[in-house]
Every structure is written in structure tokens, then in C-alpha cells.
Structure 1
């Protein structure tokens, strides 16, 4: 089964005012309208999730700009056939055989675990995925919020205090610190910051 993930979402700011947000085509069209009215405008375009800056010549035709973007990657979800032969005792888990290099004492420890080395390794990997995923998601969300702040709001009052509160995970202090910021900047930052403690989707 093939699944194509949703395309990117962008957000565009001019100074402290949000110009557009949405799929790239819509954002580019809004930018070009803005530049047609005000050729001296200096818009900033960011990925709405990661806050990575997107730099293109916005005066080119929309079709040409969209052609420069990498296409969404189709993900193949392979399901083993119902009649696929399986070895005795092997469950239908879609197991992939790969080489693993360990020291002798590691193999000895794995061999003593219930179910043997393969089961023990799968359990270890699954536990690491459960424990590491929330921490990594929080780090990425924090980085995205800070990156947006640095690009769009670096000249705003209480910037340093808001930065410290963000990295400390004190979202109440972040909200207090941005209370007097321009509405578009504070709203987008708070939306990004809310993802820092958002629960992760289960594996």
C-alpha cells in the first residue's frame, strides 16, 4: 500500500505581520501580490512546522517556484502476503534480517534472555524508541519555536527572557513575556511552543 504524506505548510511574515500561511502555492501567490503592491517589501518565508527559512526568488512564476520544491515522498507500507511461507515458529511480523556486530559478552547476555537474542534486541529497540521519541519531539519543537523567534522576533522586548523561559519549558512565562508582542508574532510563537509539551502519538 502506498501513502503520500501531506505536503509542506509555509508561513510568511513581513516584519511582525503575517502575510500568509498554508500550502506553498497559496503563500507564493500572496507574496507576489504583496510584492506587486510594495516592491520594496522584504518578506520572510518559513516552514510552518520547523521554522526553517525558505529562500527563493519570489518574483518568478508560481509554477516555476513550485517545480523547484522536492515532491512529497511516497511511503510504501508492505504487508506480507497471507500465503507467504514462514519458517517454523516464526511469527508473521515482517521481520527483516540484518547483520549486527556485538562483542562476545553482549551475545552471551542476549542468549540468556527469554526468547533469545532476536526477541531481546527487539524489546531493547522498542523501549529506546518509546523513551527517546518524546524527548526528541520536545527538542525539535523547542528548536522550531526558538528559530522562529530569532528570525522574526529578535528585536522585540523581553526576547532574552522569553528565550530562557522557552528552553526551561515554562510556557506560562513564555505567554507572559509575549503579552505585548505584535499579535501575529505572539500567536505563531505560542502555537509552536504549545507543541513542546504536546503528547506524542503512540508508536
Structure 2
């Protein structure tokens, strides 16, 4: 399983874990070496995480979002007493655009359009779970590799091997990359696979 957050200084992975731990390690490194260039990644998606490191470690940690803090709009609604009717199930109303034939078909289904759409989505999620996990892993590896190894030898061929599901070729192409970058790319791409 990939850590929640990962920090790299150049080619070296310097921290991994929860955001507070990673930010503490990054801040300590920056206090030691003011010229250090450090990138913090979301461990699941490889999206870059922007962290405000001004001031002390405590200042930087205080500015991090609280993981279990309620969303501002939800707090008053949760405290309001419930009246008669259906319980709140976290349903969010949004617009769906369909062709008339789709609306006609949905109108004929037992339970109505909303129930039918929820069932179709649940079935699709069950049936495409492995494909979705593979696609998300490839996307995370691609994003990380583009940022950290976009100028490395065999980068483009490695990306093609990644999306072609050619694990052996992928490993061969990135074998000479710096160990931390190579190992993290492999972990991102194949952590959910047994082979």
C-alpha cells in the first residue's frame, strides 16, 4: 500500500507517511538546507501538494487542514432537529443530461430514475473495479514519472510499457534510474497487483 504522502529532494525520497509527518521532515530539511528543492506528492494520485512552510514547524503544521474537521456548510445542518420524512442519506442532487429515449427507459423501471441509475452505477463499479484500480495506478505512476523522470533515459518508452501493461519491459527501461524514483514509480504502478 502506498503511503498517504511522499516527499522527494531531488532524486532522494526523504519522507513518507501522513501529511503532518512529511511536512515535519520537509520543514526540518529546509531549515538545515535553505537551497533544498523538495516536492511533496499525494501518495495515491501523485498530485503535487502545496504546503506553506513559512515560520516554525509548529506554524507550518498549524496551517495544515484538519483531517476530521467538519465542512463549514455541514455543521449547522447536522445540528438541526429532524422532522418527519425520509432520513438524510447523503444524497446530492445534481443535473443529469440524457436523451429522451433514456428518460423513457428510466421511467419504465421499477423504483424510478434515481434508483435505477444508482443500481447501474453500483453494478458498473463492481464489474470494473480492477480496471479502475489499474487505470488509477497507471495515471499516478505517469504523473509522478513525468515530474520526476521526464528527462531520464527511456522515459517515453517506459510510459508506453506502463500503459501497455508490459511490466517486465517497464522494469528494464527504468532499471538505471535513481533507486528512489525507480522504486516509487514501480510501487505506484503495481502496488495493487500480485504478479
TM-score (norm 2): 0.70
| 1:51 to 2:66 alignment | no
Which residue of 1 is the match for residue 67 of structure 2?
A: 72
Where structure 2 has 5 or more consecutive residues not aligned to the other structure, the ranges are 75-83
C-alpha distance in 2 between matches for 1:55 and 1:147: 16
The equivalent of 2:12 in structure 1 is 17
**One of 176, 182, 185 as aligned partner of 1:189:** 185
User: Could you list the runs of 5+ residues in structure 1 that have no partner in the other structure?
Assistant: 1-7, 77-84, 87-93
CA, structure 1 residues 191+112, in 2 after alignment: closer, same or farther (shift >3 Å)?
same
Shift, 1:176, TM fit: 1.3
* Larger helix share, 1 or 2: 2
Instruction: Map residues 1-203 of structure 1 onto 2, 5 A cutoff.
Output: 9-73=4-68, 106=102, 109-110=105-106, 115=110, 117=112, 120-195=116-191, 198=193
CA-to-aligned-CA distance 1:79-109 (integer Å, 9 cap, x gap): xxxxxx99xxxxxxx7979799877755654
What are the superposed Cα offsets for residues 39-98 of structure 1, whole Å, 9 maximum, x if unpaired? 22111111122111123343532222223222225799xxxxxxxx99xxxxxxx79797
Deviations 1:161-182 (A, max 9, x none): 1111112222222111111111
Distance 2:31 2:117 in 1: 59
How many corresponding residue pairs?
177
Report the secondary structure of 2:16's partner residue: strand
RMSD of the TM alignment (CA)? 3.6
